[in-house]
Amino acid sequence: MQELAIRRPDDWHLHLRDGDVLRGVIGDTSRHFARAIVMPNLVPPVVTSADAAAYRERILAAIPAGDRFEPLMTLYLTEGTDPDDVEAGYRSGLVKAVKLYPAGATTNSHSGVRDITKAMPVLERMAEIGMPLCVHGEVTTPEVDIFDREAVFIETVLDPLRRRLPDLRITMEHVTTKDGVDYIKEHAANLAGSITTHHLIINRNAILVGGVKPHYYCLPVAKRESHRLALREAAVSGDVRFFLGTDSAPHVDPLKECACGCAGIYTSLNTMSCLAHVFEEEGALDRLEAFTSLNGPAWYGLPANEETITLRKGREPVRYPTKIETEAGLITVFDPMFPLYWAVA
């Protein structure tokens, strides 16, 4: 196959940041993607519906002329979040989900939840109205190894929460382990998972072998090869519970290349090329549309996009820039470590 037409994709987990970075990166998403669930971990975070409305306006103002792109807004869950404000934002159509960050789990998560029982009034209201909860599925207690954080979260936080609120719709975002894949497969009701582009391609060797490589460092951190293969199997399976959430997370190079570098991999520019390569390797190009364009809208209760894009495979590798320029500085683009021949036409 040298050409593939699919419905225009959506990104169900995206970091756009704000200010100069937002203006520098948004075109790489709006060029190919119709919609994206936008993460709320700004400084200060997007906590209220009013915050979300203001952030949405800043995003819309930054979209390049001629691009058609809809940001889908989320709220940052805190222990003081107002259930009435959450419900009002959801019923208005402005807010599509609430994001649970365990405090300290990732970039700008220090205002997140430390005691989930204190957020229970919001979660109970969300279960009543059918509003999705997106979770960063890791514990942050220091005695838990960083490579075990997701599995421990499932056991100690997610499963008890689902037993207490079985009607709460939960998206396990950026699943990174076989444990996560298996848990979703075994618990069909009100549970789905997004999978990133980079976790389908790298394992922890990419970060650590031959020297520490900061541009492959992300949170949740990439795991063993066995986990990567489980993610691939889930992504290409056609299972409606798995869909694309790139977790594309731009940081300017000085914030990555330092003694305490930020977590995040910037994949928006070449995600569709990378995914076509992965799905072709797995003999599953016919299921790429489900993963990128159908399963996510079905989970979030939205129609699939009517517009289509075409991917073409060339004889020579696509030449993507290694870095993009923004007014805030250079941002390194994800290098999958193999040539890419597929590109959006």
CB contact set of 267 (below 8 Å; sequence gap of 6+): 196, 197, 198, 246, 247, 248, 274, 333, 334
Amino acid identity at 218: C
- Spot the catalytic one: 10, 67, 247, 253: 247
Side-chain half-sphere exposure of 344, counting CA atoms within 13 A: 20
C-beta separation of 32 from 9 below 8 A: yes
Q: Which residue has the tokens 């699919």?
A: 6
For residues 22 and 51, what is the distance between their CA atoms, to the nearest angstrom?
16
What's the angle, vertex CA 240, arms to CA 235 and CA 241, rounded to 5?
75
| DSSP run (H or E) holding 123 | helix 120-129
DSSP code at position 269: T
For residues 344 and 3, what is the distance between their CA atoms, to the nearest angstrom?
10
Chain centroid, CA 11 distance in Å: 7
Nearest CA to 11 among 287, 152, 195?
Answer: 195
Length of the chain: 345
**Would you call 247 a catalytic residue per the annotation?**
yes
Nearest CA to 10 among 260, 285, 238, 309?
Answer: 309
Task: Catalogue the active-site residues.
Answer: 247
